[in-house]
Chains A and B, each alone.
Chain A
Amino acid sequence: MIKVASRILHGLLLLAGVSVLAFTLLSVAPGNFFDELRLNPQVSPATVAALKIQYGMDRPLPVRYLRWLASVTRGDFGYSLSYHSAVAPLLMVRARNTLFLTGLATLLAWMVALPWGVLEALHRGGWVDRIGGGVTAALLAIPDVLLGLILLLLAARTGWFPTGGMVSADASNEALPERLRDIAVHLFFPVVALALGTVPVLVRHVRSAMILVLDSPFIEAAHGLGIPRWRLVYRHALPAGMNSLISLFGFSIGALLSMSLLMEVVLSWPGLGPLVLEAILARDIYVVIAAVMLSSVFLVIGNLLADVLLYWSDPRIRAV
């Protein structure tokens, strides 16, 4: 319990550091929202100056940071200059959509990668391993964007799946099963695209972790006792190889919000990706800072979860 509390404290300190860095770097970066506004001939310089004062952007950096911190305590996470609203409600809807997509993709990727990696390790050097290695190498070589574009092209040409969005325009009038089917159809390509990008990395990690364990004398000793292969894998090898995989799982959780940003833009998924891209282009810094902070929170949660899982799964760690 003390260890968990200590890790949470470390996480909070990390988040504080990230917030200072993100705020400072985005503030000192050349150009801001009002520079973009000045380019609009319909907005007078006096209006721009008034808006700057209204949003407190004329204040020194430390003051702006403290005001942002105050808004965090209120649950607003700053104010979006483009959307004229608090950042939190804006971000939450998009983050929920992103998590829905990436959660499913991550789950699918692990469900595929775990047996695949174990199978390759068990048949090391054999045909299964070589074919599997070829497929993962090919998937690793294809950039995510290209993969997204290929799937988009497939969707557009075949018409089997929608080319963007999360629901059809008329879905709200449908019954619940139809609405669920509509969401599933919209999810298919984005989930597959994300999972295909993640699977090869996971397979490689699972394979190497399992090979390391399968070569251990305690596995050979267990094998010598006549323990069947399936039991060797699930009772001895998998738990022993789990430590590095649990750490990797923590990173998967940490990457839930950031792994799909590009793919969401390509496949028009109404998640954080398009919102953050627009915010960066418009220099809407509070939206960007909030997105960075949210990603950092997930990273901290992922690492904490990995630590707790390691503690739970490995008696040697509990003994320390």
Chain B
Amino acid sequence: MAADFKTAQNPSQPIMAVRGLTLSYARRGVFNARRSSVRALRDISLEMFAGRTLALVGPSGCGKTSLARCLVLLEQPSAGEIVYKGENLIEMKREHLKSVLREIHLIFQDSATALNPRLTVEDILAEPLLIHGLGTTNEERRQRIQEVTAQVELPATWLNKRPLDLSGGQRQRVAIARSIMLQPRLLILDEALSALDLSTQGQIANLLLDLQDRHGLTYLFITHDLTMASAFASEIAVMDAGRVVRRDSPSKVFTANLHTNCETLAPDSPSRETVLAPLTPLGNDE
């Protein structure tokens, strides 16, 4: 299996386009009768381009996670389209969808709950390969695991450990390693750095940038930390009350006096270098 999984992608074409996406939750009353509905997402339209990072920011409860869950179909949207490489995921046949979803992965905020606490790191990393029939022998799977663990700087001694034996940063590395086992094209990072301390955030952010450079990965970087968003992304979409209210380059988003929520979240906008550079020299997070 190749360690590098870059594929040709027309840079002018979005790898994923979300059009008119709406998500409603039903409120149910007696005997499960539908009383009313809550609209978590309203007519969302976004585009993500290959090899680039789109940051999605907004206050808590604005629908960022709901959108992330819709994009990997953990939630079924009420309306709209999720077009991935020209095909609408929502209308895809199950078998085809399974192969397409191999390329899109969601990384959760809390790695302690996102990894099965009973499995060893090696089992966690091997499972996606087993499921998708990649690596027919144990040796092939082990080789692939070694390749990926080297990329995310996971020491081989961690492979026999279980998630709860590791620190938050170490677990997040495992979660990232698991995601790239299947050579994805798009990673959705749902507050993936929020639960980490500042130095570990820097290390994981650098790791993500390195993987992006190496594999041409596309990121949807969901956060409420505008400083990190500006340092990490080439474009920022601001969400509020289930809608995307602004989409622009980081500098424009921060300079424009556009939205009260945005101002509250980001009083200033440091450069990407200011955020990441001082954190780089620090040692490993274990």
Note all chain B residues with C-beta closer than 8 A to A130. 32
Q: What sequence of 0s and 1s flags, for each residue 289-320 of chain A, a beta carbon within 8 Å of any chain B beta carbon? A: 00000000000000000000000001110010
The CA of A240 and the CA of B113, in the complex, are separated in Å by: 12
B210 on the interface (CB 8 Å rule)? Answer: no
Interface size on A, residues (CB 8 A): 22
The CA of A224 and the CA of B107, in the complex, are separated in Å by: 10
A225 on the interface (CB 8 Å rule)? Answer: yes
Decide: B113 and A218 in contact? CB cutoff 8 A. yes
A220 on the interface (CB 8 Å rule)? Answer: yes
The CA of A231 and the CA of B113, in the complex, are separated in Å by: 19
B87 on the interface (CB 8 Å rule)? Answer: no
B92 on the interface (CB 8 Å rule)? Answer: no
The CA of A300 and the CA of B259, in the complex, are separated in Å by: 64
Decide: B178 and A225 in contact? CB cutoff 8 A. yes
Decide: A225 and B128 in contact? CB cutoff 8 A. yes
The CA of A236 and the CA of B98, in the complex, are separated in Å by: 19
B105 on the interface (CB 8 Å rule)? Answer: yes
B82 CB, nearest partner CB in chain A, Å:
14
B185 CB, nearest partner CB in chain A, Å:
14
Decide yes or no: A125 and B32 within 8 Å by CB, A217-B110, A224-B74, A226-B98 being known contacts.
yes
Partner of B118 from the list A221, A223, A225, A239 (CB cut-off 8 Å) is: A239
B254 on the interface (CB 8 Å rule)? Answer: no
Decide: B131 and A224 in contact? CB cutoff 8 A. no
Q: Which residues between 136 and 164 of chain B lie within 8 Å of chain A, taking CB atoms?
A: 162, 164
Partner of B117 from the list A125, A218, A220, A221 (CB cut-off 8 Å) is: A218
A228 on the interface (CB 8 Å rule)? Answer: yes
Decide: B127 and A316 in contact? CB cutoff 8 A. no
Decide: B132 and A220 in contact? CB cutoff 8 A. no
Decide yes or no: A217 and B113 within 8 Å by CB, A224-B72, A224-B106 being known contacts.
yes
A85 on the interface (CB 8 Å rule)? Answer: no
Q: Which residues between 77 and 122 of chain B lie within 8 Å of chain A, taking CB atoms?
A: 98, 101-102, 105-106, 108, 110, 113-118
Q: Which residues between 206 and 226 of chain A lie within 8 Å of chain B, taking CB atoms?
A: 216-218, 220-226
Note all chain A residues with C-beta closer than 8 A to B197. none
B231 CB, nearest partner CB in chain A, Å:
26
Decide: B108 and A217 in contact? CB cutoff 8 A. yes
Note all chain B residues with C-beta closer than 8 A to A225. 105, 127-128, 131, 178, 182
Decide: B132 and A226 in contact? CB cutoff 8 A. yes
Decide: A218 and B101 in contact? CB cutoff 8 A. no
B165 on the interface (CB 8 Å rule)? Answer: yes
Q: Which residues between 235 and 255 of chain A lie within 8 Å of chain B, taking CB atoms?
A: 236, 239-240
Note all chain A residues with C-beta closer than 8 A to B28. 125
Note all chain B residues with C-beta closer than 8 A to A226. 98, 101-102, 128, 131-132
A266 CB, nearest partner CB in chain B, Å:
36
Closest to A125 in B: B32
A227 on the interface (CB 8 Å rule)? Answer: yes
Closest to B107 in A: A221
Decide yes or no: A217 and B165 within 8 Å by CB, A222-B127, A225-B131, A227-B131 being known contacts.
no
A228 CB, nearest partner CB in chain B, Å:
7
Q: Which residues between 41 and 89 of chain B lie within 8 Å of chain A, taking CB atoms?
A: 69, 72, 74
The CA of A64 and the CA of B135, in the complex, are separated in Å by: 73
Note all chain A residues with C-beta closer than 8 A to B113. 216-218
Decide yes or no: A240 and B101 within 8 Å by CB, A223-B74, A226-B132 being known contacts.
no
The CA of A130 and the CA of B31, in the complex, are separated in Å by: 9
Closest to B188 in A: A224
Note all chain B residues with C-beta closer than 8 A to A223. 74
The CA of A236 and the CA of B116, in the complex, are separated in Å by: 7
Closest to B108 in A: A217
Decide: A218 and B102 in contact? CB cutoff 8 A. no
Closest to A129 in B: B32
Note all chain B residues with C-beta closer than 8 A to A222. 116, 127
Closest to A130 in B: B32
The CA of A181 and the CA of B108, in the complex, are separated in Å by: 57
Closest to A239 in B: B118
The CA of A228 and the CA of B178, in the complex, are separated in Å by: 17
A210 CB, nearest partner CB in chain B, Å:
15
Note all chain B residues with C-beta closer than 8 A to A316. 117-118, 162, 164
The CA of A217 and the CA of B117, in the complex, are separated in Å by: 11
Decide: B162 and A315 in contact? CB cutoff 8 A. yes
A130 CB, nearest partner CB in chain B, Å:
7
Return 24 A-B CB contacts under 8 Å, by A number.
A125-B28, A217-B108, A217-B110, A218-B115, A218-B116, A220-B69, A221-B114, A221-B178, A222-B116, A223-B74, A224-B106, A225-B127, A226-B98, A226-B102, A231-B131, A236-B116, A239-B118, A240-B117, A314-B118, A315-B117, A316-B162, A319-B162, A319-B164, A319-B165
Known pairs A220-B74, A240-B116. 15 more at Cβ < 8 A? A125-B28, A217-B108, A217-B114, A218-B113, A218-B115, A218-B116, A224-B74, A224-B105, A225-B105, A225-B178, A226-B102, A227-B131, A236-B116, A240-B117, A240-B118
In order of increasing CB-CB distance, the 8 nearest A-B pairs are A217-B114, A217-B113, A218-B116, A225-B128, A221-B114, A217-B108, A226-B98, A224-B72
User: Which residues of A are in contact with B by a Cβ distance under 8 Å?
Assistant: 125, 130, 216-218, 220-228, 231, 236, 239-240, 314-316, 319
